[in-house]
Amino acid sequence: MFIKGLSGSRAVLAMVSALSLLLSALAPISGADAATAHRVRSVRVERNVTPSPEKDAAIVVDGATGKVLYERNADAIRYPASLTKMMTLYLLFEALEKGTISLDTPMYASSHAVAQSPTKLYVPLGTTIDVDTAIKAITVLSANDVAVIVAEALGGGSEATFADMMTMRAHQLGMTNSNFHNASGLPDLEQLTTARDMAILARHLAYDFPQYFHYFSATSVTFRGRRYSDHDHLLAEFDGTDGIKTGYTQLSGYNLVSSVVRDNKHVIGVVMGGPTAGVRDREMIELLSATFEVASQNPAYLADANVPWYGGAGPDGDLFKPNPGQDNYLVTYLDENKGRVPILARLRNAPNVPGAAPVIVAGGSETVGGASPLLRPVPGSPQIAEGDETLNASIVPLPKEETVKRWVVQIGTFANHAVAEARLSTLARRSVDLVGQAEHIVATLPARHGRLLYRARFGLFAEDEARGICAQMKRRHQTCVAVPQTPGANRG
């Protein structure tokens, strides 16, 4: 456990914090300081482990027992990004089960909530959103503003208080290497977890609250007359997938937690730190395909799940053993079948029905066994954002044209690639409230005499998101233009 001595040092930290507050009371507080004071944490968690810059991690577990089937860097400290919202929803489901709120309870949108950077639902300031819609906005759209609305509703008006509640509950669930500092997963150096902790959380969400687990397979949410669609590609492309969450920031890379039920077997996979959404999805598909291939050869490899969210009674025995065990069958299979793992994917537009015949897609040269993780860019591949086109449409689906986020905010055109990158990084730091999770895109533009120009862009957004972000940038005297990202546009 990397967060040790937290309870023992809390009293000392509280005294130091109180003294700091007393001294600060003697100094004048500006209006801006007062407006943001509620966001400042009085006690910050001390940590002595820094996440590895390599980002990569993965784990596969038997959902019914928690037995570890495959792991790679499973206990390495990582940034969860929007996987954070799984914990936000866990506390929300607990509140629903206790009866402190109901699905039609309205929750108020504060100035702090509406100020969150995209992706967001753009709930208007001072209005409300009901719990049912809020859950869908989080599972489908990964709306940061709605995550904060939930946090303030359950945390007595304070996201900071709610984040402390998240961390405390996570540790009680056995997620001993996790620390939450906000409810959304927006960039924060104190927002920490591991692949193993995310697998633990996924199992608890599934079996503690089976009555709400269907929300993770929702494919759309409608709010104020507008329909938003999900970008978890495996829901449509990998047979049996029923959730649960994607995540991305520049710090984390592309993260994914998946739950799959086939033939009364339940498997949970976690992939973290992918260089693109497509590469991340492909690794998850290969790991899951290999798991079910091993299970088909050895029926006792996975326990019967009898998953309760499909009406079953649940697995037999203790669901959450302290040491559920592990084996090396899957690792051995992957090592012996590098590049030859059959990919079980659903035909595009095929009906999503239990028992539908899977499609066998030839495995590529990328492997996931042993020391050759798939989490590396395919040579020549673009850095794609969630919802963008992928390199292999038979494995990762292209969402419907009207639901894809294809707009970018362009902040300038430069003669040098490095300058364009630097400008994006500088503006991202200054405008994290606007572009905190956005991808940095440097698109090439042919110029005269064989030269290239470099367009610096943030993306990808829905059209209204891009225009709204650009409008706010202009109020800060930052030149920008909201434009559609041309399909197949060259990126530097």
Q: What percent of the chain shows pLDDT beyond 90?
A: 47
Which phi and psi (to 5°) does residue 246 adopt?
Answer: -105, 165
**Which DSSP letter does residue 266 get?**
E
Contact 427, 478 (CB under 8 A): yes
CA-angle at 488, arms to 482 and 492, nearest 5°? 75
Reported as a single tens digit per residue, the pLDDT across 210-253 is 999 999 999 889 999 888 888 788 988 899 999 989 999 988 99
Q: How far apart are CA 338 and CA 364, in angstroms?
A: 9
405-484 carries CATH number 3.30.70.1070: yes
CA distances from 22 to 17, 44, 45, 445 (A): 9, 18, 21, 56
- In this prediction, residue 29 carries a pLDDT of 32
Q: Pick from 80, 255, 285: which is nearest to 185 by CA? A: 80
Reported as a single tens digit per residue, the pLDDT across 375-421 is 333 333 333 333 222 333 223 333 343 445 678 899 988 888 888 88
> Topology of domain 57-399, per CATH?
Beta-lactamase (3.40.710)
Q: Is the pLDDT of residue 258 over 80?
A: yes
**Which DSSP letter does residue 19 get?**
H
307-346 burial: b if 16+ Cβ within 10 Å, else e: bbbeeeeebeeebeeeebebeebbbebbeebeeebbbbbb
Q: Pick from 31, 37, 32, 134: which is nearest to 91 by CA? A: 134
Q: What percent of the chain shows pLDDT beyond 70?
A: 73
> What integer best gives the mean pLDDT of the chain?
78
> Any idea where the domains of the chain sit in the sequence?
57-399, 405-484
Reported as a single tens digit per residue, the pLDDT across 92-133 is 999 999 999 999 999 999 999 999 999 999 999 999 999 999
